Amino acid sequence: MAELSPPKAPSFIDLTFEEVAALPTDTVAVLPLGAIEQHGAHLPVSTDYLVATSVAEAAVATVAAAGSASVVLLPGLAYTKSDEHHWAPGTIWLSWETLMNTLIDIGRSLANTPVKRIMFINGHGGNSALGQVACRELHRRFGLMTFFAHPSFPKDQGGVDGVDTENGFGVHGGHSETSMVLHLRPDLVHMDRATRQVPDAMAEYKYIGFGKPVSFGWTSDDFGPGGVIGDPTGATADIGKILVEGAVERCAAAITEASHFTIG
Amino acid sequence: MAELSPPKAPSFIDLTFEEVAALPTDTVAVLPLGAIEQHGAHLPVSTDYLVATSVAEAAVATVAAAGSASVVLLPGLAYTKSDEHHWAPGTIWLSWETLMNTLIDIGRSLANTPVKRIMFINGHGGNSALGQVACRELHRRFGLMTFFAHPSFPKDQGGVDGVDTENGFGVHGGHSETSMVLHLRPDLVHMDRATRQVPDAMAEYKYIGFGKPVSFGWTSDDFGPGGVIGDPTGATADIGKILVEGAVERCAAAITEASHFTIG
Amino acid sequence: MAELSPPKAPSFIDLTFEEVAALPTDTVAVLPLGAIEQHGAHLPVSTDYLVATSVAEAAVATVAAAGSASVVLLPGLAYTKSDEHHWAPGTIWLSWETLMNTLIDIGRSLANTPVKRIMFINGHGGNSALGQVACRELHRRFGLMTFFAHPSFPKDQGGVDGVDTENGFGVHGGHSETSMVLHLRPDLVHMDRATRQVPDAMAEYKYIGFGKPVSFGWTSDDFGPGGVIGDPTGATADIGKILVEGAVERCAAAITEASHFTIG
Amino acid sequence: MAELSPPKAPSFIDLTFEEVAALPTDTVAVLPLGAIEQHGAHLPVSTDYLVATSVAEAAVATVAAAGSASVVLLPGLAYTKSDEHHWAPGTIWLSWETLMNTLIDIGRSLANTPVKRIMFINGHGGNSALGQVACRELHRRFGLMTFFAHPSFPKDQGGVDGVDTENGFGVHGGHSETSMVLHLRPDLVHMDRATRQVPDAMAEYKYIGFGKPVSFGWTSDDFGPGGVIGDPTGATADIGKILVEGAVERCAAAITEASHFTIG
Amino acid sequence: MAELSPPKAPSFIDLTFEEVAALPTDTVAVLPLGAIEQHGAHLPVSTDYLVATSVAEAAVATVAAAGSASVVLLPGLAYTKSDEHHWAPGTIWLSWETLMNTLIDIGRSLANTPVKRIMFINGHGGNSALGQVACRELHRRFGLMTFFAHPSFPKDQGGVDGVDTENGFGVHGGHSETSMVLHLRPDLVHMDRATRQVPDAMAEYKYIGFGKPVSFGWTSDDFGPGGVIGDPTGATADIGKILVEGAVERCAAAITEASHFTIG
Amino acid sequence: MAELSPPKAPSFIDLTFEEVAALPTDTVAVLPLGAIEQHGAHLPVSTDYLVATSVAEAAVATVAAAGSASVVLLPGLAYTKSDEHHWAPGTIWLSWETLMNTLIDIGRSLANTPVKRIMFINGHGGNSALGQVACRELHRRFGLMTFFAHPSFPKDQGGVDGVDTENGFGVHGGHSETSMVLHLRPDLVHMDRATRQVPDAMAEYKYIGFGKPVSFGWTSDDFGPGGVIGDPTGATADIGKILVEGAVERCAAAITEASHFTIG
């Protein structure tokens, strides 16, 4: 992973408190949000944490190397809101209330530094909604500029939506995620245990579903015992490399944009 | 609004408790989520509540008239999470914690009836993220099937994105919302006070923004003192009629789909 | 119900935020507190909500028509603290903590307007105690003048205590409540299912009981499976009309008094 | 105070845990609720705590001596909900949430013993409303029979309402309370500092006020800086003796009734 | 106990609020923390409360008599965090959250007086950890000087560690505690039921254990059904007298020190 | 740091959920507790996190290499309860409530695996008290065996107390901590900025102080603006190596002991 983690990702926590106090006011602090949760029979429970921290660290290093913005990396959160995988041993999840209060406490602390901009780079879809709530709360209460990004971007912005065999359901442990872990930590992937689990019948619904106008509440055991929603069987490290490098590039650009972003 | 509210929208609260206990188990309970919050100088603070309850009531009536599903209407929530408008007199807002606990309490109560399906029809964008969190929580804790819908649908599914003069920023009190209120309650709209307030400069950002890959935390006073984000000046009741009727039609279809929706 | 709801009940939520900001500082905001809870086999679960909102709306209209005070109507709370009816399908109840926080959030919001006086008109006895706690909290924390009223008044002030057959226990779904719903929404009352359920044995206690010096904790299933505490069998719409009109008249007078009430 | 505290008030906390486990199931546990709060210039901040614990202890002793019921005394709560006196040095007050959770924790603990009946004897009016909420909560959650009593009883049941000079406002530090402390602890009363502070103007209100149909939120500094609401100037130990002895007698009778009280 | 409780322990709650407002700013308020919890077959559930309040009262009296510091006694907390004895009838315990909020509320109240120094004298080991947390919280939030003391002191400072037969495990209901109650309230001790329950096997562990570098989570039923951890069989009132008098002497000295203690 | 982190520290999060489900029931999960907080002008804000994670990882690797117990490493918590350093930019701290709920959520999640033993290795003194509370809570609520260890051990068990110039006050950023960071990450230490800040005057107190019988509430700015409590000036990497290796050795032995530890 040397190409992802150049040694120069500047770390917030390597600083003394007086060095923190001297950071420029347009500094962007980047905080990866992972998850420790079941990812099917073939992927480690660290999957989301691994992707989020790898991409965030590399993106911060890229920005720092380019000198395009003042940026620091914060330690990521490994344990987040994985309540949809609560049933599976190995999922370690915070309640919505605990995670929200954690993010508020971090924001309150950051507001006591010159750093007034924070970007979450979130590897776990189950955090996205609460993350939006937190971004507003930190902005309103502490005056922070808050940003919420994902390693995976929409297709029309350079992202990859998965393969045809996923029928649009590559949500968890599927083609993209498996490919990224194959690239980042191939030793942790058990492709021999990878199996397709796709709710094909749900494609028939017109209004309700992933990416459809009406969302629905689900836990991952609704889709079967395997823990996967998608088709990991065709995943490769090469695809993962493309996905990860694209994510790093776009996150780095987003960090740079965030350093001078103004509302209104 | 007679065409929207036929007298036969079956109401949950008109029933006795024994009648509730006899409802079919595939019944969908529909709960409108409004907001009481500033909507600029020209719209009432009831705007979101008005749209959500009007559309929900008409959609429930449509489904009931068609007999396509068992459906009941619940009293809507007027006060919800309008923290982004906290600065404005007339905004009455619940904290994220209070709204979340309210939705949990409602879900816990509904789980004590045969009705195991609930669809929120949400007129206020600021509720969407927390609503997703709630839908999962109610599903996990109480086994409810939960759905989250909006009166406004994406353009490629029949929705309307606003007019060109909004530059993609018709978020609050703009063309669409103003048109809908002109249709529903023209007496409450002050078109002479309607002014365009669009953050045109933000269109330049590539990554961060409404509908862009990176979201950001904001309150509505970030955009200026007017309270609007969009361009209401060209709004008409005719456009509003099209929007509302489309919303009713699609919500009704979504309710019907929800009555037999299965995950996996 | 035309006689109860003249079209001129001024509504807080019909205003724009700038119109709210221009309200007189002696304005009284009226907020009905209902409940959605079992009311026996013969009454709808909406009973308390129906009575509270009907009386509040008419009282506000009366005050406005008379010009005796500046007054606005707020949307009522349908879901409140009905924990004593938790056992019954159809009861939708908030915990004490959720309702308290809801009232605090509303008070905090109102304190950001010129309106510094709020009167709760409460149709559900189970809210009365917590409502007292909230009134003090809102007064202390936000400086609001807070008032807590009921549609039903004590007998010596024009109220009606129920009929002799209730033995003083006309607490829930009995003579008075049933009469009021017969007046307001006769289509929702099933008199053929109305049965007397009165804890006559409790009349023997000297110290403990309703209206006695020592109160006690109860849930409504303590009194039997019927859900009623009282005797609805003799209820009539005529009595209901007297009760409702009296409530409107007295609430209107109380609102006027509240607009100039001073402590000390 | 020997006449109030015979040595035989059986104490819950004098027992070993095995003796607790052997208590009869119709035992009534009595828990005094006091307050530590300003009581004007002439009374100690302990006033409510003193009255509640003195009356409760004597009432328990009376019942035990008579053998009319199985009864045990619990340690009283000194610190309760005195938020209306928050402004005064010497007031030590719990928030509504802290007191409620304290009562819930006590109820949860008691439910692990054979003792299923608890009577609160409450010396502080500011606890009454929350106490009602708690009584219901403990009954619903833990199945306890819960009772809430006051040392002072309504006039038509043997209570004393204060003197004419109080104009009905003998609410705090007035004639009755001062008399009781003169009886119980004359060394703590400074009659030379006792002054009348009565909101006579409030008597004019028809609907809003103490004992009137509409209650209102207040803090004691609304009535002036003295801290008193009432007229303590005519208080005497003789009157206090009558009040205290009457309270003991009635509380003892209520405890006995509570030991066999049945709902329904 | 006359020697422990001279009549001159100045009581905070005996004062009027104006007398509280006139206390010197170096006054130390002393608040005993007890517990109501099982203490084996031979000791009352009041044991910790009895010891804490007896020692605190006598120490306060000693300081006051000596005039070495301004000091006042606050009513103690009987109900605290006894979750490790939750299983036993007679244990009345607050959750960590309730006790913490209680201490915060007391601290917030005290900060409204001239008294800025508070010493907890804690009779229950289960409160020690949370008490540390509270002392910091009250210091940070309210600027109070906070102190946390125990009646029992380490051996090298005059304390007593128990007898050899306890093998270092005289933690609960053992030699020391039983001796102190034999001195303070011999009528409440049942020596005939006193039995040794010592986890001798645990002495073998090198790292984990009471007083060892690694602590562990336990509840008292882990040690057997008797409720005791220690050996009370050799306890005597004479030893108890030495322990109690030593505790009083040292607590008095600590209070005096606290009145002029400065950090840094 | 190669000598501290052999490549074989088995990681919980490298496992799939099915591999977690297959872990032996005597497995010890090790969770490092760090802190991100000011550590004086010469040490990084990561100090406690660095020490805790380094020692924990090496200790887990040692146990695994020896095969003396089944052990897995969990991701550490970087953000914990550093409220005593709240004043300093760079301190990122959770409230007591947030950290407690985080630990509860982790414990609740772990209880859904075969792993029933968890050892916290805590690098931050400010977590110790709350950690004790959490250990009991997780044991009582989830039946987990919980252990709380520190990298630094008492002197009589192989620990080091600091140098004479610290006068017993080597609490924060002093001799020991500085030495350990000099060993682990010399690039992060600025010895030229290291200054002695020792509250020598406090040594005079007999009862109150660090390691004395009466503890007190403090924040680190009480001791001066430097942020240090101790004397880092004589710290060396050699001493740090001894301290860290000793900590690893003892923690490894403690983990082994924890795998078969039994209470009672």
DSSP output for chain E: -TTT--TT--BGGGS-HHHHHTS-TT-EEEEEE--B--BTTTB-TTHHHHHHHHHHHHHHHHHHHHTSS-EEEPPPBSSB--GGGTTSTT-BB--HHHHHHHHHHHHHHHTTSS--EEEEEE--GGGHHHHHHHHHHHHHHH--EEEEE-SS--GGGT-----GGGTT---BSSHHHHHHHHHH-GGG--GGG---B--GGGGG-SSBSTTSSBEE---GGGG-TT--BB-GGG--HHHHHHHHHHHHHHHHHHHHHHHH----
In this prediction, residue F163 has a pLDDT band, given cuts at 50, 70 and 90, of confident
In this prediction, residue D51 has a pLDDT band, given cuts at 50, 70 and 90, of very high
pLDDT at site D2: 42
- Round to the nearest angstrom and report the end-to-end CA distance of chain B: 39
Does C211 contact B at CB distance below 8 Å?
A: no
pLDDT at site B163: 83
pLDDT at site D217: 98
Dump pLDDT digits (tens) for B143-159: 999 999 999 766 655 56
Give the distance from residue A44's alpha carbon to the nearest chain F alpha carbon, in angstroms.
4
Does A136 contact B at CB distance below 8 Å?
A: yes
pLDDT at site E155: 61
Dump pLDDT digits (tens) for C216-256: 999 999 999 999 999 999 999 999 999 999 999 999 999 99
Rounded Cα distance, C101 and B83, in Å: 15
Sign of CA dihedral C9, C12, C14, C16: positive
| Mean pLDDT, rounded, for C17-25 | 98
Rounded Cα distance, F82 and F227, in Å: 13
Consecutive H or E run containing D129:
helix D128-142
| Mean pLDDT, rounded, for A82-95 | 98
Q: CA of E60: how far to CAs of C92, E33, E78, in Å?
A: 53, 15, 18
pLDDT at site F159: 60
Q: How many residues does chain F have?
A: 264
Chain F residues whose CB is inside 8 A of the E100 CB are 96-97
Mean pLDDT for chain D overall: 94
Dump pLDDT digits (tens) for E242-256: 999 999 999 999 999
- Residue D175 has a CB neighbour count (10 Å cut-off) of 27
Sign of CA dihedral F176, F178, F181, F182: negative
Does C contact B via 3+ CB–CB distances below 8 Å?
yes
Dump pLDDT digits (tens) for B230-239: 999 999 999 9
In this prediction, residue A5 has a pLDDT band, given cuts at 50, 70 and 90, of very low
Which residue has better confidence, A162 or E175? E175
Q: Which of B28, B121, B136 would best serve as a mutation to test chain A binding (most A beta carbons within 10 A)?
A: B136
Helix-strand-coil split of chain D, %, nearest 5: 45, 15, 40
Residue B2 is assigned to a structural domain of this protein = no
- Residue E68 has a CB neighbour count (10 Å cut-off) of 16
Chain B residues whose CB is inside 8 A of the A145 CB are 216-217
Q: Is pLDDT of C38 > 80? A: yes
Give the distance from residue D210's alpha carbon to the nearest chain E alpha carbon, in angstroms.
24
Parallel, antiparallel or unpaired: strands F28-33 and F145-149: unpaired
Does B contact A via 3+ CB–CB distances below 8 Å?
yes
**ipTM topping 0.85:** yes
Give the closest of F39, F90, F190 to A113, CB-based. F90
CA dihedral (F210, F214, F219, F224) in degrees, to 10, reads -60
Give the closest of F14, F17, F74 to A38, CB-based. F17
Give the closest of A139, A216, A262 to B135, CB-based. A216
Can you give the CATH number for the domain in which B38 is found?
Answer: 3.40.50.10310
Give the closest of F140, F148, F213 to E214, CB-based. F148
Rounded Cα distance, B4 and B55, in Å: 7
Parallel, antiparallel or unpaired: strands B215-216 and A145-149: antiparallel
Residue ranges in B77-212 assigned as alpha helix (H)? 96-110, 128-142, 175-184
Amino acid identity, position B71: V
Domain count, chain B: 1
Cβ contact A130–B133 (<8 Å): yes
| Mean pLDDT, rounded, for C193-216 | 95
In this prediction, residue A2 has a pLDDT band, given cuts at 50, 70 and 90, of very low
Cβ contact B261–A205 (<8 Å): yes
Which residues 32-91 in chain A show a CB within 8 A of chain F? Answer: 36-46, 49, 74-75, 78-79, 86-91
Does C contact D via 3+ CB–CB distances below 8 Å?
yes
| Mean pLDDT, rounded, for C113-140 | 97
pLDDT at site B152: 79
Residue C1 is assigned to a structural domain of this protein = no
pTM of the model: 0.97
| Mean pLDDT, rounded, for A244-251 | 96
Give the closest of D140, D154, D253 to C83, CB-based. D140
Residue D46, φ and ψ in degrees, nearest 5: -85, 0
Does F168 contact A at CB distance below 8 Å?
A: no
Does B237 contact C at CB distance below 8 Å?
A: no
Which residue has better confidence, F167 or F135? F135
Dump pLDDT digits (tens) for C146-177: 999 999 866 655 566 678 899 888 999 999 99
Amino acid identity, position A182: L
pLDDT at site B12: 98
pLDDT at site C195: 97
Residue A162 is assigned to a structural domain of this protein = yes
Give the closest of A14, A95, A102 to F188, CB-based. A14
Q: Is pLDDT of A156 > 50? A: yes
Which residues does C67 contact at the CB level (< 8 Å), separation at least 6?
none
CA dihedral (C221, C191, C54, B109) in degrees, to 10, reads 30
Give the closest of C128, C205, C264 to D222, CB-based. C264
Amino acid identity, position E23: L
Q: Which of F30, F94, F208 would best serve as a mutation to test chain E binding (most E beta carbons within 10 A)?
A: F208
The residue of chain F with its CA nearest to that of A100 is F98
Rounded Cα distance, D202 and D216, in Å: 12
Which residue has better confidence, E252 or A163? E252
**Domain range spanning residue E206?**
12-258
DSSP string, A166-207: GTT---BSSHHHHHHHHHH-GGG--GGG---B--GGGGG-SS
For chain F, which chains pass the contact test of at least 3 CB pairs under 8 Å? A, E
Rounded Cα distance, D182 and B47, in Å: 61
Does B18 contact C at CB distance below 8 Å?
A: yes
Cβ contact C136–D206 (<8 Å): no
Residue E2 is assigned to a structural domain of this protein = no
User: Cβ-count burial of A113 within 10 angstroms (0-12 exposed, 13-18 middle, 19+ buried)?
Assistant: buried
Residue A63 is assigned to a structural domain of this protein = yes
Rounded Cα distance, C119 and C96, in Å: 20
Q: Is pLDDT of D6 > 70? A: no
Dump pLDDT digits (tens) for E146-166: 999 999 766 655 566 678 899
The residue of chain D with its CA nearest to that of C224 is D264
In this prediction, residue B4 has a pLDDT band, given cuts at 50, 70 and 90, of very low
Q: Is pLDDT of B29 > 60? A: yes
Residue D212 is assigned to a structural domain of this protein = yes
Dump pLDDT digits (tens) for C87-111: 999 999 999 999 999 999 999 999 9
Mean pLDDT for chain C overall: 94
Does F contact A via 3+ CB–CB distances below 8 Å?
yes
Give the distance from residue B254's alpha carbon to the nearest chain C alpha carbon, in angstroms.
24
- Residue environment code for D37-73, b if the CB has 16+ CB neighbours within 10 A, otherwise e: bbbbbbbbbbbbbbbbbbbbbbbbbbbbeeebbbbbb
Give the distance from residue C9's alpha carbon to the nearest chain D alpha carbon, in angstroms.
21
Rounded Cα distance, F23 and E122, in Å: 42
Residue C36 is assigned to a structural domain of this protein = yes
Report percent pLDDT > 90 for chain F: 89
pLDDT at site F156: 57
Closest CA to F204 of F169, F176, F232: F169
Chain B residues whose CB is inside 8 A of the A130 CB are 129-130, 133
In this prediction, residue A260 has a pLDDT band, given cuts at 50, 70 and 90, of very high
Residue F4 is assigned to a structural domain of this protein = no
| Mean pLDDT, rounded, for E115-125 | 97
pLDDT at site E163: 83
Q: Is pLDDT of E3 > 70? A: no
